[in-house]
A and B are shown apart, each in its own frame.
Chain A
Amino acid sequence: MSAVSTTFTTRQVAFRGGTVKVVEAGQGPTVGYLHGMVGLPAGELQPMLAELAADHRVIAPCLPGFTGSPTRRACGSCPTGSSPCPSWSICAASPAHRWWPPRSGRWSPSSWPVRPEAFSHLVLLAPMGLWDAEDPVADAFGTTMTEQRALLTADPAATARFWDDDPAVTDAAEKIELGVSRYLTRTSAASLVWPIPEHGFAERAHLVRTPTSLVWGTADRLVPPSYADRFGAVLPQVAGRYLVNEAGHLVDWDRPVEVAAIVRTALG
């Protein structure tokens, strides 16, 4: 599949007293997408969404606090580190990517673990949520921005639309606000995983009844690919495991075509 859709819409949806941005594109079976650390930068459609939108309807909410979603609190910023409900905590534990095609037409970012009937399949792209002190997840935020960028993708240019200033923006005030927005996105990402991205997911993983596929980049320097085995050991229904060559942690940014193909395979 090589057709790519670049047409998309965005809208603001009420959420917890504020709003979140929801990006939508394409037609066909519905696929939901929860983004990773760089959010859904303004401008072009995220590259893998563009691939999938060729034959799917993709819906991608931008998590609270990330660019375009002004609601302040991301769900992981629980003050006590505990969580009021299993779905919430799973969301907190794993801010990386999840895919799910809703069956019922109604979906919520926090409902997939406790409403397995709503989703036919999950595809987890190098998720966080487990911790092995012998093989720790790297610290993505005790780094300089240059180092963080290099940690996230095998090709640092892959996420340029997040990290680099948009040359089309020349107004000084607008540039500053874009910088603030980027800072707040990084803040929201950090808030989900600080200081160690493990908040009891292993104890709650049994609640995830949906068939789940695991995808990792072989060059993931943030969450070692060996974590695929650890997730495989705690998730009840692992439907498939995939390694993507020459891809880093944000595997879908590094290799959008390959990962889109995996998603299609996983979704059948």
Chain B
Amino acid sequence: MPYPDLPGDFPDRYRSVWVDIDPALYDPAVGHRVYNEYIDQLEYAASVGFDGVGINEHHSNAYGLMPSPNLIASTLARSTSDAAIVVLGDSVALYNPPIRVAEEMAMLDGISGGRLVAGFPVGSPMDTVFAYGTNPATLRERYHEGMELIQQAWTRDDVFAFNGRYNKLRYVNCWPRPVQKPHPPIWIPGGGSVDTWDYCAENDLVYCYLSYFGYKAGLATMRGFWNKMAELGKPQNPFQGAFAQFVGVADSEKEAYELYREPAEYFFNSCLHVYAGFADPPGYKTPNTVRAGVEGMVERAAREATARSEAKAKPKASAPAASQAMPFETMVEKGYVIIGSPDQVIEKLTEVGTSMNVGHLLTLAHFGNMDNELVRHNTELLARKVLPEVQPLFENEWEDRWWPKPLPTAQRAEPAR
């Protein structure tokens, strides 16, 4: 849910799209329009055959206008009937106490009749340690303690005391309880931390790599997760993996280049214009990740934004070619964005699934400043011409234990219209 009306020279005039972006750039009338459009688009996706609709949490930014994903999820829980509500998710450490997350997600699961996927990211450094002021040295401890509290709150059948380091609750008693038992499937969105792979692998959770940079760049990260699974002697069930990919479908490749160039360039040049000082606060990364030399996607985005800014500031002759703003053709070539005719997109998405061994594909049919009409066009083509060919991948070989198990249709309440 990006803010779509940043000025064309935003990267030149402003330091960052996140944390300290100028509040004067936000027009509430635009916000009103796009919130409704974005919700419409998600509802439309659910109506034309997507298995689920996904939302996430960000703060103080024009990259994604969703400080509270649960608010959006609550409207979707009412307005959709079959699609999973994939909340990716609530940044656990930011909720005080995190029992609030357990309660709100139980509400969502209840309203939707058991269609919730519960996502729990640590959260980006911009959101967690800068916008919300959480100490980076304790962020992950808070996160893990919150995760423990939430899962106990969902599954224990008694009223219990929780004596954590950060949360001291004499009475934990989660009313309502989730519909799904023992609890909604848990997905962990990650941006490249080694410890997130380990956490998912060790705890039977979905590792959901939310990459900005497409499947080619994401391959190494997903391999890291599957290597950890192999190390633990666990099965390589593709449904324990998820991956986000920008996708643009058109009637022809030529048309796809025409349609999706501007929104992709807006996204990569403006929405990812993150000041490098906000991308890697000390303590955000674990020692294992530092030791492994893994660069998170936010770090990479910030590094590339810095390179672009520096290249612009230099005389043309001295600017290294690699630092110039990336042309759309290169974004496509590198796999940041998959575009083309339906057949071309089917081929590439199949490659994404098989090469990364991911059974859950989060196709981003909206990106950057894509207008409402084009989003619906893209969504419809994806749903009608692409997804039917891609959805069966892995279904006969593996069981998806990480997908919602809603109430039978006959037991589900029908919202009065």
Contact = CB atoms under 8 A, between A and B. Distances in A.
Interface string B289-300: 011010000000
A183 B281 contact: no
A65 B137 CA distance: 10
A261 interface: no
Contacts of B282: 141, 183, 186-187, 189-190
Given A147-B277, A195-B129, A180 B136 contact: no
B19 interface: yes
Interface in A52-106: 65, 74, 77, 79-80
Contacts of A77: 135, 137-138
Contact of B137 (A144, A180, A187, A196): A187
A144 B136 contact: no
Interface string A128-168: 00000000000001111001000000000000000000000
Interface residues of B, number: 22
B290 A179 contact: yes
B137 A142 contact: no
A190 B138 contact: no
Q: Say whether chain B's binding surface is mostly helix, strand, loop, or mixed.
A: helix
B320 interface: no
B283 interface: yes
B130 A194 contact: no
A179 B142 CA distance: 25
Contact of A142 (B19, B142, B285, B290): B19
Given A79-B166, A142-B278, A144-B276, A188 B138 contact: no
A13 interface: no
B165 interface: yes
A111 to B, nearest CB: 24
A194 B291 contact: no
B149 to A, nearest CB: 14
Contacts of B133: 194-196
Contacts of A190: 135-137, 281-283
Contact of B135 (A184, A186, A194): A194
A22 B142 CA distance: 31
B327 interface: no
Interface in B98-140: 129-130, 133, 135-138
A80 B133 CA distance: 13
A1 interface: no
A179 B291 CA distance: 8
A180 B289 CA distance: 9
A225 to B, nearest CB: 24
Interface string B138-157: 10001000000000000000
Greatest chain A CB density within 10 A among B165, B277, B285, B291 is at B277
A74 B23 CA distance: 36
Given A74-B137, A191-B138, 6 more contacts: A77-B137, A141-B281, A183-B287, A191-B283, A194-B129, A194-B135
25 contacts: A65-B137, A77-B137, A79-B138, A141-B136, A141-B281, A142-B19, A142-B130, A144-B277, A177-B291, A179-B290, A180-B287, A183-B282, A183-B285, A183-B287, A183-B290, A186-B282, A190-B135, A190-B136, A190-B137, A190-B281, A190-B282, A191-B135, A191-B283, A195-B133, A195-B135
